[in-house]
Chains A and B, each alone.
Chain A
């Protein structure tokens, strides 16, 4: 495999993809663990669709796509977080709002497609499904910087966040500011979502949030170990996925990465189930 690797890394775009992908996966895996713990995967899903609408909106207005992405996800993220504990479990509100945001996305797409030549239609597909193999050196450094900033911010609030996710009652009793924490968490999630959209696309971002976090949660009950495990699974999936998509011509990078992550999740779920059945039968 070493020989193939050396061949793969002679291409600059592959080096860029690995570098950016590693950091994005670290950030997604770590924050995804919290997303799963807090049972807010649907909110993460909504944010990934918001990212798509924001990027298309920026494209339709002729502004930088990255600007639209970050503005949309951070603002909506703060909004979802600000709804607070009361609306936290309310998937119906999230669903209703993001159905409309998707409708806006359809509007922007039609403006964008009709306002430009046909080849720009690929821009919409890039927003939806990512373009990790087309990152420039500048893109990579932005991705690394955003990921490190997000990880640092997450580390700063990790302890109270973990407590408030695992045991909200105790956290409230200890005077943890739950509302502020919820908003901060969603702002970080929004920034990560916006950056990850560049790599795996708005639609596949969800997989990098949910699958490693879900698998880690099934594999261990120890929170810090789970956090590390989620990040490791995300990075591993990204590495293996990139390698597979390099080796297999027609396999898109996003599909490969999500495929590997899903496989890990399935294995974790099977491992979780089989001993349970064995226990029940005895």
Chain B
């Protein structure tokens, strides 16, 4: 029996949760969305989207290398993202190049990581179906133990964020004042990149290396368009990420198109709406 959408929401929900793989996908989607929504908000605030994207891409060679070495893929994801975060932190210092030098370094690191990933996939014997899953993710086939691992990581990341939240916010909004106030900016930056790497590695296992962004950057960017207040923004970002991941999963279940497409399109649609609404409000305020 192929799934069919009806107007009866209860029946739809029952259909959606008939199969264990779908229940696990919804659980994993919720965990990942909450974590990505929270840390993504800080990432957008710190203008580190390029670094975040690069970390996501680095997870791809990690997973490919782990497959090649026949060790659990999770090790590859976390190992590669941890190393990547450290490399980014090393490059991100006050180099002569400044901002442009840093972005060149990040770009080079990302391209090199992709090249390595391609090499590993080639060495493995070109399992193309696997390649697609690594890059674009699969919500299907998530195991019970993976969900538990994800939950542990999410709790760890969110706890660390809660502890670091205040100085991190301070350092992100006004670095020089925070430095003068005795906040260890550089250390905070490194710790944040490591947390980001951890979160991205966990998210990439579900969404694939290329689509992490849909949950990491778009909900956070939407939230920051709507409100500048940190508390509300964080909650909104998490709520949006959660909503698009569950809606995306639900729609993908009833349609022939991939979940990555639905999640990115939903979150982008919300971003555009928020943008239109805020510019409309700004226009109204100006003319009033």
| Complex Cα–Cα for A42 and B48 (A) | 11
Cross-chain contact B267 with A99 (CB below 8 angstroms)? yes
Cross-chain contact B111 with A96 (CB below 8 angstroms)? no
| Complex Cα–Cα for A38 and B135 (A) | 29
Q: A39-B100, A99-B211, A107-B258 are in contact. Are A209 and B107 (CB under 8 A)?
A: yes
| Complex Cα–Cα for A49 and B135 (A) | 12
| Complex Cα–Cα for A218 and B258 (A) | 43
Contact among B44, B111, B129, B260 with A92 in the assembled complex (CB-CB below 8 Å) = B44
Q: A211-B108, A265-B108 are in contact. Are A99 and B95 (CB under 8 A)?
A: no
| Complex Cα–Cα for A114 and B218 (A) | 29
| Complex Cα–Cα for A129 and B114 (A) | 9
| Complex Cα–Cα for A95 and B53 (A) | 8
Cross-chain contact B101 with A41 (CB below 8 angstroms)? no
Instruction: Please name all residues of chain B whose beta carbon is closer than 8 Å to the beta carbon of A9 when the two chains form the complex.
Output: none
Instruction: Please name all residues of chain A whose beta carbon is closer than 8 Å to the beta carbon of B139 when the two chains form the complex.
Output: none
Give chain B's interface secondary structure class: helix
Residue of B nearest to A103 (CB): B264
Instruction: Please name all residues of chain B whose beta carbon is closer than 8 Å to the beta carbon of A93 when the two chains form the complex.
Output: 221
Chain B min CB distance to A147 (Å): 19
Cross-chain contact B111 with A36 (CB below 8 angstroms)? no
Asked if A170 is at the interface (CB within 8 A of a chain B CB), the reply is no
Chain B min CB distance to A180 (Å): 22
Residue of A nearest to B47 (CB): A91
Stretch at the interface among A19-27, A66-74, A119-127, A181-189: A119-127
Contact among A94, A96, A255 with B118 in the assembled complex (CB-CB below 8 Å) = A255
Q: Which of B69-126 contact A (CB under 8 A)?
A: 91, 95-97, 99-101, 103-112, 114-116, 118-119, 122-123, 126
Q: Interface centre among B119, B256, B263, by most A CB within 10 Å?
A: B119
Chain B min CB distance to A108 (Å): 9
Q: Interface centre among A49, A102, A111, A250, by most B CB within 10 Å?
A: A102
Contact among A89, A207, A250 with B111 in the assembled complex (CB-CB below 8 Å) = A207
| Complex Cα–Cα for A9 and B285 (A) | 68
Q: Which of A226-282 contact B (CB under 8 A)?
A: 250-252, 254-255, 257-259, 261-262, 265, 269, 272-273, 276
| Complex Cα–Cα for A121 and B129 (A) | 8
Asked if B67 is at the interface (CB within 8 A of a chain A CB), the reply is no
Q: A92-B217, A213-B104 are in contact. Are A252 and B119 (CB under 8 A)?
A: yes
Asked if B50 is at the interface (CB within 8 A of a chain A CB), the reply is yes
A-B contact count (CB 8 A): 208
Could you give, for residues 205-246 of chain B, a 1 whenever the CB lies within 8 Å of some chain A CB and a 0 otherwise?
000101101100110010010000000000000000000000
Chain B min CB distance to A150 (Å): 19
| Complex Cα–Cα for A44 and B54 (A) | 13
Chain B min CB distance to A174 (Å): 22
Number of B residues contacting the other chain (C-beta, 8 Å)?
58
Chain B min CB distance to A84 (Å): 16
Q: Which of A194-241 contact B (CB under 8 A)?
A: 201, 203-211, 213-214, 217-218
Contact among A96, A204, A218 with B218 in the assembled complex (CB-CB below 8 Å) = A96
Asked if B19 is at the interface (CB within 8 A of a chain A CB), the reply is no
Cross-chain contact A214 with B101 (CB below 8 angstroms)? yes
Cross-chain contact A92 with B49 (CB below 8 angstroms)? yes
Instruction: Please name all residues of chain B whose beta carbon is closer than 8 Å to the beta carbon of A103 when the two chains form the complex.
Output: 211, 214, 260-265, 268
Asked if A136 is at the interface (CB within 8 A of a chain B CB), the reply is no
Instruction: Please name all residues of chain A whose beta carbon is closer than 8 Å to the beta carbon of B221 when the two chains form the complex.
Output: 92-93, 95-96
Asked if A100 is at the interface (CB within 8 A of a chain B CB), the reply is yes
Contact among A49, A100, A105, A210 with B104 in the assembled complex (CB-CB below 8 Å) = A210
Cross-chain contact B123 with A92 (CB below 8 angstroms)? no
Asked if A113 is at the interface (CB within 8 A of a chain B CB), the reply is yes
Contact among B52, B97, B112, B257 with A107 in the assembled complex (CB-CB below 8 Å) = B257
Chain B min CB distance to A93 (Å): 8
Chain A min CB distance to B182 (Å): 23
Asked if A104 is at the interface (CB within 8 A of a chain B CB), the reply is yes
Cross-chain contact B132 with A262 (CB below 8 angstroms)? no
| Complex Cα–Cα for A102 and B99 (A) | 26
Chain A min CB distance to B58 (Å): 12
Asked if B128 is at the interface (CB within 8 A of a chain A CB), the reply is yes
Contact among B49, B218, B224, B268 with A42 in the assembled complex (CB-CB below 8 Å) = B49
Cross-chain contact B108 with A261 (CB below 8 angstroms)? yes
Closest 7 pairs (CB-CB, A-B): A103-B264, A207-B111, A214-B104, A210-B107, A100-B268, A99-B213, A107-B261
7 contacts between A and B (CB under 8 A): A42-B103, A95-B50, A103-B264, A110-B258, A207-B114, A210-B107, A250-B123
Give me the interface of A with B, judged by CB distance under 8 Å: 36-42, 44-45, 49, 89, 91-100, 102-107, 109-111, 113-114, 121-122, 124-125, 128-129, 201, 203-211, 213-214, 217-218, 250-252, 254-255, 257-259, 261-262, 265, 269, 272-273, 276
